[in-house]
Amino acid sequence: MTNLIDGRAVAENVYLELRVEIERLKAKEITPGLAVVLVGDNPASRAYVRSKDKMSRELGLHSVKLELPESTTQSELLARVNELNRDRNIHGILVQSPPPRQIDESVIVQALDPRKDVDGFHPENVAKLALGDESGFVPCTPLGVQRLLVESKIAISGAHVVILGRSMIVGKSLALLLLQKGKNADATVTVVHSRSRNLEEITRSADILIAAIGRAGFVKAEHVRDGAVVIDVGINRVEDPENVRGYRLVGDVAFDEVAGKAAAITPVPGGVGPMTIAMLMSNTVKAARQFAAT
């Protein structure tokens, strides 16, 4: 019988741990602070920001939601980022992606104080991930995938992990994370993408298959061997006239046909998604803890 990996339940475990640590920090007169910056009025981005702000407040964090108009210039955004870098009450900064076209996202990421880069994309944090330096910040979705595997008691050490997708947001970062020498890692990792040859043959060799390609229902039964673990990072909107919203959310995995072959699988929604926000909160608390130690 296929084991459904419940991301919401694992996220709640993370929040239970964080509440204890937050209270310890508050006893030292430090309230972890998270600033989320939204430029423009992208509906999906606005919903993400609202969710992050809501969870920050529920956990008792100092939450700042900075909403800037679509017309905001790069220099104006950089000025706001620099203000947050200097604010001692803010330990984590996230600039919601994607920004409007006039903003060069890479410039904004590099302007962040790496000690406050709780998204984990500053070059200094990427280097720390590659070097195995635990003082850095790992991008939230890869960190969430690792936590899901650990909480589900799925062996990572020695496993062949195939990651479908090579973005820095998920694929590259997750490969670096699971390749680390030590606890909750030590995997043999293969990264495949749109240019990979013999794709089905490679994905069928996976003990753990992680789909992060951004194409609805791309992973079919023929991509998965019997008994593999399947982690679906994708979240895609597909039209559904029977749904009151006119669409429904699906992953990169054709769930109904793959679930019967997998030993364990994440649903969409309710799998990796809740873990991304949980790991953002975890990174923010970590940033506050490291601030307290300086």
Of the residues 53, 96, 232, 252, only one is catalytic, namely: 96
Tokens found for residue 142? 């890869």
Angle at 200 between CA 198 and CA 202, to 5 degrees: 70
Question: Catalytic residue at 119?
Answer: yes
Angle at 45 between CA 242 and CA 10, to 5 degrees: 80
Question: Catalytic residue at 54?
Answer: no
Give the list of residues 6+ apart from residue 132 with CB closer than 8 angstroms, or none.
Answer: 180, 181, 182
Contact 286, 128 (CB under 8 A): no
At 77, phi and psi to the nearest 5?
Answer: -65, -40
Tokens found for residue 106? 């890479």
Angle 7-27/140-151 helices, nearest 10 degrees?
A: 110
Contact 132, 151 (CB under 8 A): no
- The span from the CA of 146 to the CA of 79, in Å, is 35
Q: Which amino acid is at 1?
A: M
Of the residues 52, 116, 128, 286, only one is catalytic, namely: 52
- The span from the CA of 253 to the CA of 235, in Å, is 10
Contact 224, 201 (CB under 8 A): no
What secondary structure letter does DSSP report for 246? S
- The span from the CA of 242 to the CA of 126, in Å, is 43
Of the residues 53, 116, 117, 119, only one is catalytic, namely: 119
Which of the residues are catalytic?
A: 52, 96, 119
